Amino acid sequence: MASKRILKELKDLQRDPPTSCSAGPVAEDMFHWQATIIGPNDSPYAGGVFLVTIHFRPDYPFKPPKVAFRTKVYHPNINSNGNICLDILKEQWSPALTISKVLLSICSLLTDPNPDDPLVPELLICAKLTNSSTNQQLETGPRSMLWAELRCHIPAHPLLPPLLI
């Protein structure tokens, strides 16, 4: 069951890829994929290229895939090991979800962190998240961009002031 579903999702991704994302198997292992996410334009991660690993379990799609960032990300819902705190990868998983939808949800998380379910609470405190996405971007931006510039070699976001180290 899992192999057939994974193959169908791969074909769907190739036919209609999600915006700013790509994914596919590593070598010939259909249960181990690598994805690439381009940082969303309306986020502090704009212009960044982020690698993500996807491991499908034998009971997929009845259990969620294991998804983690390989690229370091300074984000309250992503820890230093790349683990992602996203409800659809845990208790809100449904067999109706696809990898395409998972990747789009991760892109959305980069744009709008979830302050109600932080994986790294100290980053949430540093970020002083607010309900306004514009204020959120400007308040979380400097720390996120410093991390991105130092670790990912991503140029500064045009809405943010230059960073001084």
User: Which residues are the active-site residues?
Assistant: 85
Helix (H) or strand (E) holding 138: helix 133-147
Contacting residues for 160 by C-beta, under 8 A, at least 6 apart: 44, 138, 141, 142, 145
Helix (H) or strand (E) holding 36: strand 29-38
Contact call for residues 5 and 15 (beta carbons, < 8 A): no
Peptide bond into 64 cis (omega under 30): no
In the block, tokens 């979380």 appear at 140
